[in-house]
């Protein structure tokens, strides 16, 4: 609602329609940290490709030291500020709609949903990749693999349907279980570590496209949890603390096992590092029992990754439905408070994409994600410049000039990842882009004709350049105190 149209002293309207605001269990800080951890990482599973693509451990180690500073931290800071500014389901769709227009918010929603579905299609594949080293039944050539993918997706989808609070508390247990074998591995590796092995790098054989895609994928999606901000208890307090807690957890979960594994294993085996190789590292350092433990942890980690991604994707669709962008059916909740149709839509996308290879999925989703993140950085800067007086329960502790400067390094990395994409990726991403452009006016026409039921949001998103309700100014700005 426009500031000029708001009655003085009256609190802004809720960004959700009354039907969506009924009482249900809310996420607190610890489950939120665990969900963000699984949105981004889930443990060191998948970092092995960065060692193989980088021709040795040096580039991988440097990447996990530098990329969090240049990429992860700026994205986490922006997510903390905008999530507390607009604490409603839909997250980045709301940010873009407010900064630019509902049209661009809708495009962001399409890009993010498709990249999220691609991302989620990776986890059943990674799960089976870890098991195939010990159980040939799950190998790429096995007839049982497709049925295993379908069964695994169905079971995990049902768990997501049972409730977000269940997913959140399950994520805490999964975080502990997923990281526990790497704590043991790191301790056992100490006597075998030779620091000179960390300096190995065959630059001539480096697969730069694979390296950057692997690094980027392992350190992105900090903004995903914002899509379910409306389900968080006291988001102005919880989001900043959860974001920064997750940053430390993610960086440690990558660097410690990576240093232990590459420092304790013969450097001549650097070329063998690919997804699933940590199980072999566990075998060499601890024996069969540690290999099986790592494989079990990988399985459980991929469950957490799947659940976190599906929760974010489904609540993004719910938020878009509550904003009147897509049909009302996507906002319908089960008796557990979960968006049933949105979850089924996400699961369908996963099954349709799970036949693709790991590297194909990785490159496609990275391109679409990079495109969406560039739009988020632009929205962050525009809201700082055009609407500096909006109440920000947490604000990045930089003035607008330095906040803009902070966005330059990650924007450069985003453009670099997009430039390294293959022609096939440009074609696929261009198809998704055209789909969004065509779908938006089509849905608007359907809405006008009343062929399908849409929710009427509390205000027209097109007015005031897409302004949306934010937190009232009388909320104490505790979250911004002494964070950084």
Q: For residue 261, count other CB atoms closer than 10 A to its CB.
A: 27
**What CATH fold (topology level) applies to the domain 30-454?**
Amino acid/polyamine transporter I (1.20.1740)
Asked if residue 230 lies in contact with residue 319, where contact means CB atoms within 8 angstroms, the answer is: yes
Task: For the chain, give every domain's residue range.
Answer: 30-454
Question: What pLDDT score was predicted for residue 358?
Answer: 66
Q: In this structure, what token pair is assigned to residue 263?
A: 């420092």
The tens digit of pLDDT for each residue in 83-116 reads 999 988 888 999 999 999 999 999 999 999 988 8
Question: What pLDDT score was predicted for residue 321?
Answer: 92
CA 435, CA 106: separation in Å to the nearest integer? 11
Question: What pLDDT score was predicted for residue 98?
Answer: 92
CA 65, CA 42: separation in Å to the nearest integer? 18
Question: What pLDDT score was predicted for residue 140?
Answer: 64
Name residues of the chain where pLDDT drops below 50: 1-22, 460-467, 469-484
Q: Residue 201: which residues within 8 A CB-CB, separation 6 or more? A: 54, 55, 56, 57, 58, 59
Question: What pLDDT score was predicted for residue 117?
Answer: 84
Asked if residue 336 lies in contact with residue 162, where contact means CB atoms within 8 angstroms, the answer is: yes
- R_g of the chain, CA atoms, integer Å: 22
Question: What pLDDT score was predicted for residue 470?
Answer: 47
| Secondary structure letter of residue 381 according to DSSP | H
CA 417, CA 427: separation in Å to the nearest integer? 16
Residue labelled with tokens 């249900």: 24
The tens digit of pLDDT for each residue in 19-53 reads 344 456 788 899 999 999 998 988 898 788 888 88
The tens digit of pLDDT for each residue in 275-300 reads 778 888 999 999 999 998 998 898 88
Question: What pLDDT score was predicted for residue 306?
Answer: 86
CA 246, CA 251: separation in Å to the nearest integer? 9
Cα dihedral value 414, 415, 420, 423, nearest 10:
110
pTM of the model: 0.81
Asked if residue 53 lies in contact with residue 211, where contact means CB atoms within 8 angstroms, the answer is: yes
Q: Residue 378: which residues within 8 A CB-CB, separation 6 or more? A: 99, 100
Question: What pLDDT score was predicted for residue 130?
Answer: 67
Q: For residue 204, count other CB atoms closer than 10 A to its CB.
A: 6
Cα 430 to Cα 294, 317, 375, 409, 433: the distances in Å are: 39, 22, 16, 25, 5
Question: What pLDDT score was predicted for residue 126?
Answer: 73
């Amino acid at each position: 609602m426009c500031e000029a149209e708001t009655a003085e002293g009256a609190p802004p309207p809720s960004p959700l329609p009354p039907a969506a605001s009924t009482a249900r269990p809310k996420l607190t800080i610890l489950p939120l940290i665990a969900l963000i951890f699984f949105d981004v990482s889930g443990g060191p599973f998948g970092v092995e490709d960065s060692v193989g693509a980088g021709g040795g451990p040096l580039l991988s180690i440097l990447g996990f030291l530098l990329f969090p500073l240049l990429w992860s931290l700026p994205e986490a800071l922006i997510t903390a500020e905008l999530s507390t500014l607009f604490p409603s389901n839909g997250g980045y769709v709301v940010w873009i709609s407010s900064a630019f227009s509902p049209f661009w918010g809708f495009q962001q929603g399409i890009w993010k949903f498709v990249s999220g579905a691609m991302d989620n299609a990776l986890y059943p594949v990674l799960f089976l990749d870890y098991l195939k080293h010990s159980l040939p039944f799950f190998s790429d050539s096995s007839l049982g693999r497709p049925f295993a993918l379908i069964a695994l997706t169905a079971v995990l989808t049902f768990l997501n349907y049972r409730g977000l609070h269940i997913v959140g508390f399950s994520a805490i247990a999964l975080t502990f279980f997923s990281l526990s074998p790497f704590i043991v591995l790191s301790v056992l590796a100490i006597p075998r570590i030779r620091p000179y092995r960390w300096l190995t790098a065959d630059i001539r054989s480096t697969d730069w496209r694979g390296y950057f895609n692997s690094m980027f994928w392992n350190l992105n999606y900090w903004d995903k949890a914002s899509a379910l901000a409306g389900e968080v208890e006291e988001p102005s307090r919880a989001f900043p603390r959860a974001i920064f807690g997750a940053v430390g957890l993610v960086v440690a979960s990558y660097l410690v096992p990576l240093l232990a594994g590459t420092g304790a294993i013969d450097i001549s085996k650097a070329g063998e590092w690919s997804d699933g190789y940590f199980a072999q590292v566990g075998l060499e350092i601890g024996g069969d029992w540690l290999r099986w433990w790592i494989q079990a942890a990988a399985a459980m980690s991929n469950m957490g990754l799947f659940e976190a991604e599906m929760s974010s994707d489904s609540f993004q669709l719910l938020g878009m439905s509550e904003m009147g962008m897509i049909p009302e059916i996507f906002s319908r909740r089960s008796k557990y408070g979960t968006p049933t149709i949105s979850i089924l839509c996400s699961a369908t996308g996963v099954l349709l994409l799970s036949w693709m290879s790991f590297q194909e999925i990785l490159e496609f989703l990275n391109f679409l994600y990079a495109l969406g993140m560039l739009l988020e950085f632009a929205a962050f800067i525009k809201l700082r410049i055009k609407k500096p007086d909006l109440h920000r329960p947490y604000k990045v502790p930089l003035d607008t000039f330095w906040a803009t400067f902070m966005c330059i390094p990650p924007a450069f990395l985003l453009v670099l990842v997009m430039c390294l994409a293959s022609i096939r990726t440009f074609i696929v991403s261009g198809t998704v882009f055209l789909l969004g452009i065509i779908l938006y006016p089509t849905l608007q026409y359907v809405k006008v004709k009343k062929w399908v039921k849409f929710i009427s949001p509390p205000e027209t998103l097109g007015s005031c350049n897409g302004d949306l309700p934010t937190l009232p100014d009388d909320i104490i700005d505790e979250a911004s105190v002494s964070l950084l």
